[in-house]
Amino acid sequence: MVSRESASRRWREVSVRSMLRLPKFQYLHPASPKEAVQMMADAGPDAMFVAGGTDLYPNMKRRQQVPKVVIGLAQLKKLGTMKGKPADGMVLGAGLTLTDVTQDRRIRHSYPAVAKAAELISTPLLRNMGSIGGNLLLDTRCNYYDQNYEWRKAIHFCMKKDGEICWVAPSSPRCWAVQSSDCAPVMVAIGARVKLVSSSGERVIGAAELYHDDGIQHLNKRPDELLTEILLPPANGFRATYWKLRRRGSFDFPVLGVATCVRLAGDGTVEDAKIILGGVGSSPLEAILAQRAIIGKKLTSETIKESSAAAYPAAKPLDNTDLAMTWRKDLAR
């Protein structure tokens, strides 16, 4: 008969063996953003930046991303600052934690959509670790990809990593993994910009230009580029909000996120509108028909209803995240 002690020792051994472990890698800790981009230039394509690590480290444990060199950003004070006034636009350091963003009085008051989106991300512990920059650069997600190595190997992998086929749409030449960042649709809707720095210079692009509708090449950012700043537009003159659909209110990735931003004339007519859907494509998607339905009109129950109905065709969920895709598409309304 097996004794209680040996049974419990055996159970501990099995648990430890089945734990997902990080692969071996070299960790570098630069003293400044400049040093970080130089380290990246020296290390080449086998290196990746890490901020809070709440996305990258789980991905490394599942062998979805396997950098040999990891360049840590969390200690870089310069990336953790917030500058400017809402009236002129604010500059968020990419290394600010989600908690820093949600707790800042200026952000809560003048950019409530940004505060709300960040506040809806995962759990307090993960928001204390996760950065706003890492959130905008989050890897795309898919039920066939967010699995451990053995699970993916058992289905012969997929084209996003190590394989050739897409299990969601087997005849498709592209990957449909889903853009699942809560802050990305908001940054696109309000017209934020991002600063990217590398050893060969720097550039500022609109948040909308940062994303590309492809589950593999989902960012218009070179791997060697460091995201240093997120530039929020002057807060005057627009109103924005964010709504998120997920299975559990306590924490879960969005299966649909809706960011809206309107600029109103003095008489309440909508001069400009941006309605951006997240979690239903490989990039934040612009619901152009929904925008058109309110531009030049006043916001009434009828015009809002018309606009909501027009958001339906823009949502293109597939069966590769939580909950039924037809229900999620319906909910875009």
Ligand X SMILES: Cc1cc2nc3c(=O)[nH]c(=O)nc-3n(C[C@H](O)[C@H](O)[C@H](O)COP(=O)(O)OP(=O)(O)OC[C@H]3O[C@@H](n4cnc5c(N)ncnc54)[C@H](O)[C@@H]3O)c2cc1C
Per the CB < 8 A criterion, the answer to whether 224 and 41 are in contact is: yes
Q: How far is the CB of 49 from ligand X (least distance, A)?
A: 4
**Which residues, numbered 92-111, are part of the site for ligand X (CB under 6 A)?**
94, 98
**Part of the chain binding ligand SF4 (CB under 6 A), chosen from 17-25, 90-98, 174-182, 288-296:** 174-182
Locus of tokens 């230009």: 209
Answer positive or negative: Cα dihedral of 241, 93, 217, 273: positive
Quick one: which of 128, 57, 115, 62 has its CA closest to 242?
Answer: 115
Encoded tokens for 162:
């190590």
DSSP 182-193: SHHHHHHHHT-E
> Considering the rule CB under 6 A, would residue 226 count as an interface residue with ligand X?
yes
Question: Distance between CA 166 and CA 18 in Å, rounded?
Answer: 27
- Verify binding: residue 320, ligand SF4, rule CB under 6 A: yes
Pick between residue 161 and residue 292 the one whose CB is nearest to ligand SF4: 161
Q: How far is the CB of 250 from ligand X (least distance, A)?
A: 10
The residue with its CB nearest to ligand X is 134
225 vs 32: CA distance, rounded Å: 14
Pairing relationship of beta strands 69-72 and 47-50 according to DSSP bridges: parallel
Determine if 47 is a binding residue for ligand X (CB under 6 A). no
Sole binder of ligand SF4 in the list 39, 43, 76, 167 (CB under 6 A): 167
Per-position DSSP letters for 67-87, written without gaps between them: -SEEEE-TT-GGGG-EEEETT
Binds ligand X (CB under 6 A): choice among 37, 39, 50, 190: 50
User: What number of CA atoms fall less than 13 Å from residue 251's CA on the CB side?
Assistant: 7
Of the candidate residues 135, 140, 179, 291, the single one contacting ligand X (CB under 6 A): 135
- Which of 49, 111, 176, 211: binder of ligand SF4 (CB under 6 A)? 176
Q: Binding ligand SF4 by CB under 6 A: which of 116, 127, 160, 193?
A: 160
Q: How many CB atoms lie within 10 A of CB 301?
A: 7
Using the minimum distance from each CB to ligand SF4, give the nearer residue, 140 or 291.
Answer: 140
Site for ligand SF4 in 183-242 (CB under 6 A): 215
DSSP-assigned letter for residue 240:
E
- DSSP state for residue 178 in the 8-state scheme: B
| Residue closest to 126 by CA, chosen among 37, 224, 58, 211 | 58
299 binds, among ligand SF4, ligand X, none (CB under 5 to 8 A by kind): none
Q: Which does 176 bind (CB under 5 to 8 A by kind): ligand SF4, ligand X, none?
A: ligand SF4
Q: Name the DSSP class of 181.
A: -
Shortest gap between Cβ of 174 and ligand SF4 (angstroms)?
8
Among 37, 142, 188, 270, binds ligand SF4 (CB under 6 A): 142
* Structural tokens at position 123: 């759990």
User: Cα separation of 300 and 195, whole Å?
Assistant: 38
Considering only the stretches 6-14, 230-238, 246-254, 321-329, report the one whose residues sit in contact with ligand X under the rule CB under 6 A: 246-254
Part in contact with ligand X (CB under 6 A); list of ranges 142-150, 157-165, 245-253, 265-273: 245-253
Evaluate whether 242 touches 185 at the Cβ level (below 8 Å): yes
Residue number, 49 or 270, with CB nearest to ligand X: 49
Interface with ligand SF4 (CB under 6 A): 142, 144-145, 158-160, 166-168, 175-177, 215, 320
Interface with ligand X (CB under 6 A): 48-56, 58, 73, 94, 98, 121-122, 126, 129-131, 133-135, 137-138, 180-182, 226-227, 251-253
